[in-house]
Amino acid sequence: MKTPFIPRISPDKAFQAIGYNISVKIVYAILLGIGLAMFGHGLLVVLGHLLHLLIEIIESMVEHLLEWLFNLSPRQAEMITFWLGFAILLGVARPVSIKIYAAVKNSFLSWLAKPKFDKYILFIQFVVLSTTLALFY
C-alpha cells in the first residue's frame, strides 16, 4: 500500500498562513524566555552540576593517563592535572575576557546613542527582570 504524500510546511509559512508575520526564531526566543523565567534557577543548577561532572570525568581521565604514561603516583598526577588545568584556564581567560569587554563596551556605547525614551524603557525592563529573578531566587 502506498503511503500518501504529506507536504511539509515550514513553521514560518505556517505562521503566515494563520495571519501572523512572525519568525520561528522569535517564537523560540519567547518560549525560551518563558522557560527560563519559570525554571531558570533549576536549569542553571542542573547545567552547573553537569558541567562539574564533565570536568571531573576529564580530570580523572587525565590523571589516569599521567599515572600510566609517566609512572606517577596518584598524588603527583593530581598536582600535575591541577596545574595543567590552571594553565589552560589562564590561557583561555585572557582572550575570552577581552572579547567580553569589547562586547560590553560596544553594547554600552550603542545604548548611549539611543534616544532618551528608549533608555528609560530598557532600564525599566532591566529593573523588572532583576526584581523577578530576585523574587524567585
Burial 23-50 (b: 16+ CB within 10 A, else e): eeeeeeeeeeeeeeeeeeeeeeeeeeee
Residue range 89-98, pLDDT digits in tens: 999 988 998 9
Q: What is the mean pLDDT of residues 1-22?
A: 63
**Mean pLDDT of the region 64-84:** 95
User: In angstroms, rounded to a whole number, what is the distance separating the alpha carbons of residues 79 and 86?
Assistant: 11
Helices (H), 9-73: 11-17, 24-70
The domain limits of the chain are 11-136
Report how far residue 116's alpha carbon sits from residue 38's, in angstroms, rounded to the nearest whole number.
Answer: 31
105, pLDDT greater than 70? yes
This prediction's pTM: 0.53
Higher pLDDT, 14 or 34: 34
Residue 19 has pLDDT above 60, yes or no: no
| Whether pLDDT at 52 is above 60 | yes
pLDDT score at 6: 64
pLDDT of amino acid 1? 58
The residue-averaged pLDDT of 74-89 equals: 94
Q: Are 39 and 53 in contact (CB under 8 A)?
A: no
- Is 90 exceeded by the pLDDT of residue 43? no
Pick the range with the lowest mean pLDDT from 9-18, 24-33, 81-90.
9-18
- Of the listed ranges 21-25, 38-42, 45-49, 95-99, the least confidently predicted one is 21-25
Residue 124 CA to residue 3 CA, distance in Å, equals 55
